Amino acid sequence: MLYPEEFDVIVVGGGHAGTEAALASARMGAKTLLLSHNIETLGQMSCNPSIGGIGKGHLVKEVDALGGAMAIATDESGIQFRILNSSKGPAVRATRAQADRVLYKAAIRRRLENQPNLSLFQQAVDDLMVEGDRVVGAVTQVGIAFRARTVVLTAGTFLDGRIHVGLDNYQAGRAGDPPAISLSARLKELKLPQGRLKTGTPPRLDGRTIDFSKCTEQPGDGMPGGTTTALPVFSFMGRIDMHPRQMPCWVTHTNERTHEIIRSGFDRSPMFTGKIDGVGPRYCPSVEDKINRFADKESHQIFLEPEGLTTNEYYPNGISTSLPFDVQYKLVRSMVGLENAHILRPGYAIEYDYFDPRALKSSFETRAIQGLFFAGQINGTTGYEEAAAQGLFAGINAALQCRGEESWMPRRDQAYLGVLVDDLITKGVTEPYRMFTSRAEFRLQLREDNADMRLTEAGRKLGLVGDAQWDAFSRKRDAVSRETERLKSIWVNPRNLPAAESERVLGKAIEHEYNLADLLRRPDVSYRSLMSLDGGKYAGEGVTLDPTEIEQIEIAAKYSGYIDRQHDEVQRAAHFENLKMPADFDYSLVTALSFEARQILAKHRPETLGLASRISGITPAAISLLMIHLRKGG
Ligand code: FAD
């Protein structure tokens, strides 16, 4: 049956990529349909119920700055929050939250169900409708054909998914969910370049059978015994009173006996016996991989993370495994506190199809099929946050295409989202890609705290940011800018400043006149202490700033030297970064380029010289030659 209504954007898959994609395109006014296997699993966390962390938290804040759902849904469902690296520089500070997985799904579903321009439909998609080289819709399992101008595919780990536990394996999208077999076959028929990757998850434990008295408690921030007394929020629109009750995590360790048990299962491990071909995430290895690779390490820390407020289920972070169940049973019970632990769900590994992201344009539209966009795990990434950021991005560009407008992509110096997209389309992946702060060369300016300052204006222009968020952002931006200017304009004269006051606030007497912005650059001077200087003489009348505004003013002052230097680097690269490469550019004419460089460039067809410069095998000399050629009008 041909469904009577036609859509602008169909999103296939209701995971973290799909839900952000659908919300984004609908927010931008595109008539959107989200097609997913099961409405009950919208926003489901396939693995651990945790959002954020270093690099990942940065992406979540960016999604939030662009009006996305992940951060605010985490505020509504987070049962433990921590600021990681809180004693380090602001660039690497990151928020991580433990979510109640039921509350998280509910928070996402509520947003989807109440989003204007968005319809939901539960059904597996088995086929894509393609006319010529353009996608025109999707067909479900029972033959319902939905027509659309664009399709965003976010099928996660489901495409030809196969679960492994020991030497047993079966087809599935993840435990308890069906695989997408027909869709995988259809994509193979369309000859999009693909490969196999794998990921894994630990067995889940019944908290009633864990002896917590033998484990070390790990409270979150804002809890008694936590690192700080302040309870963090994730979203720029988040409030502490949105958080449900907070819960601690617990820590135990593997030991020599655990390692022996794990080694005894190597001959029945699908990883070591060649049953699994897909490459797994190096940075999130299975416990058998850790014991194999770091054979001399006597113990590994295992975090016991609660899965929610209304369940006894615990996620033992650090023992992801696809060893046979009898080995899982023994290895769990070999650890202190877990001697009687009951496994509720076995751990497993899953292999699935992914598509080479180098076959995508910088909008995430496939080069081969117009109107077809890919986002999330199927682009070779791992992680909810990476998926959400890509989903939002693909949703934006699908909606822009429907409007007949140019695609949007933030630069590497503007956003981790820019780094993510740029890395994927220029370098591809050799293992599941996850975000790290070290991937960003301009990380000093890509901080969690200023994600709104970097992106909310762009989000508003795109139509992603609603009035409430825009008003809050505008107030913050204006307050920060007004106060920064005021600090620059007020001068402190040593003759008018009592020496004792100078020493109390500034550490020593000042020798000449300074403005307040200069004094704030000093490492030991905080904004609040500066405002208390000389009886509060320099505090602006009627100036009341909230902690996030003060943080912006302080960071901008203290790191201004470094930030200015990074800004100069960006400016230096800007002369070629956005130089467009014509779509039909004939690389064979640039004879000064090596044969290999010409081949690589002809294959990748980078859209700008900046993108070309980051393709592996393309040297700075090749870029100079291309620039000369383009300038000559060649
Ligand atoms: P998913 O969350 O997988 O969502 C895909 C959605 O598409 C689902 O709603 C599904 O029902 C739907 N769908 C698929 N095919 C169809 C179809 N044909 N028709 C209709 N609907 C369809 N990440 C980490 O960062 N660290 C880890 O340690 C980790 N371990 C993992 C372990 C396991 C076992 C699994 C399964 C995942 C793990 N992940 C891990 C990955 C994390 O779950 C994903 O990165 C993230 O969920 C990807 O989001 P996504 O939206 O791309 O896909």
User: What is the per-residue pLDDT for 408?
Assistant: 98
- Give the position, in ligand 1's atom list, of the atom nearest the Cα of 386: 45
Say what percent of the chain tops pLDDT 70.
100
Ligand 1 atom closest to the CA of 126, numbered from 1: 18
Q: Quick one: tokens of 71?
A: 């951060």
- Single-letter residue type at 403: R
From 16, 157, 289, 381, give the residue whose CB has the most ligand 1 atoms within 8 Å, as the site to mutate: 157
Q: Which atom of ligand 1 is closest in space to residue 56's alpha carbon?
A: 25
Of 497, 554, 502, 501, residue with least CA distance to 526: 554
Is 44 in contact with 15 (CB distance < 8 Å)? yes
Distance 13 CA to ligand 1 centre (A): 9
pLDDT at 543: 85
158 CA distance to ligand 1 centroid (A)?
A: 7
- How close is the Cα of 127 to the center of ligand 1, in Å? 19
Helix (H) or strand (E) holding 8: strand 2-12
Residue 455 backbone phi and psi in degrees, to 5: -130, -20
Residue 285 to residue 320: CA distance in whole angstroms:
7
Q: What is the pLDDT of residue 568?
A: 84
C-alpha 169 to ligand 1 mean position (Å):
18
The atom of ligand 1 lying closest to the CA of 383 is 25
CA of 463 from ligand 1 middle (Å) equals 28
Atom nearest to 378 CA in ligand 1:
52
pLDDT tens digits, residue range 21-34? Answer: 999 999 999 999 99
**Average pLDDT, stretch 51-66?**
98
In this structure, the residue with its CA closest to atom 23 of ligand 1 is 383
Give residue 490's pLDDT.
94
pLDDT range class, residue 397, cuts 50, 70, 90: very high
Distance CA 41, CA 177 (A): 9
pLDDT at 500: 87
Position 343 scores a pLDDT of 98
| Cβ contact 119:73 at 8 Å | no
pLDDT of 227 over the 90 cut: no
Q: When comparing pLDDT for 276 and 176, which is higher? A: 176
> Ligand 1 pocket: which residues have CB below 6 Å?
12-18, 35-37, 41, 46-47, 124-125, 154-158, 173-174, 177, 180, 183, 199-201, 284, 350, 376-377, 382-384, 387
CA distance 326 to 595: 56
**Confidence check: pLDDT of 601 > 60:** yes
Is the ipTM above a cut-off of 0.95?
A: yes
Distance 384 CA to ligand 1 centre (A): 8
Q: Could you tell me which residues are annotated as the binding site for FAD?
A: 13-18
- Rounded to an integer, the average pLDDT of 357-375 is 97
- In sequence order, what are the residues at sequence separation of 6 or more whose Cβ sits closer than 8 angstroms to the Cβ of residue 595? none
Which residue puts its alpha carbon closest to atom 24 of ligand 1? 383
Say how many Å lie between the CA of residue 491 and the centre of ligand 1: 56
Q: In this structure, what are the phi and psi dihedrals at residue 269, rounded to the nearest 5 degrees?
A: -90, 130
Lowest model confidence (mean pLDDT) among 258-267, 490-499, 506-515, 564-573? 564-573
* pLDDT tens readout for residues 76-89: 999 999 999 988 88
Q: Is pLDDT of 634 > 60? A: no
Partners of residue 514 on adjacent β-strands? 492
Is residue 573 predicted with pLDDT exceeding 80? no
Top pLDDT among 634 and 552 is at: 552
Mean pLDDT in residue range 314-321 = 97
Spatial distance between the Cα atoms of 406 and 396, rounded to a whole number of angstroms: 11
Q: Coil, strand or helix: which one is 316?
A: strand
Question: What are the binding residues for NAD(+)?
Answer: 280-294
Provide the pLDDT for residue 560: 87
Among protein residues, the one with the nearest Cα to ligand 1's atom 45 is 383
**Per-residue confidence (pLDDT) for residue 565, from 0 to 100:** 86
Nearest ligand 1 atom to alpha carbon 376: 52
Mean of all residue pLDDT scores within the chain:
94
Q: How far is the CA of 351 from the centre of ligand 1 (A)?
A: 12
**Tally of CB atoms within 10 A around 522:** 17
Residue 172 has pLDDT above 60, yes or no: yes
Distance 330 CA to ligand 1 centre (A): 29
Residue stretches of the annotated binding site: 13-18, 280-294
The arrangement of strands across the sheet holding 216-218 comes to 216-218, 249-253, 301-306, 313-317, 204-206, 343-345
Q: Using the atom order of ligand 1, give the atom closest to the CA of residue 349.
A: 34
Q: Would you place residue 633 in the very low, low, confident or very high pLDDT band (cuts 50, 70, 90)?
A: low
**CA 320 to chain CA centroid, nearest Å:** 21
Please choose from 40, 162, 199, 378 the residue to mutate so as to test ligand 1's pocket, defined by most ligand atoms within 8 A of CB: 199
Residues written for the chain? 634
Q: Quick one: average pLDDT of 368-391?
A: 98
Whether the CB-CB separation of 153 and 14 falls below 8 Å is answered with: no
What strand order describes the sheet that includes 94-99? Answer: 50-52, 94-99, 78-84
Would residue 130 be called left, alpha or beta, if left means φ above 0 and alpha means ψ between -120 and 50 degrees? beta
Specify whether the backbone of 349 is left (phi greater than 0), alpha (psi in -120 to 50) or beta: beta
Mean pLDDT of 542-566: 90
Nearest to residue 611, comparing CAs of 368, 424, 478?
Answer: 424
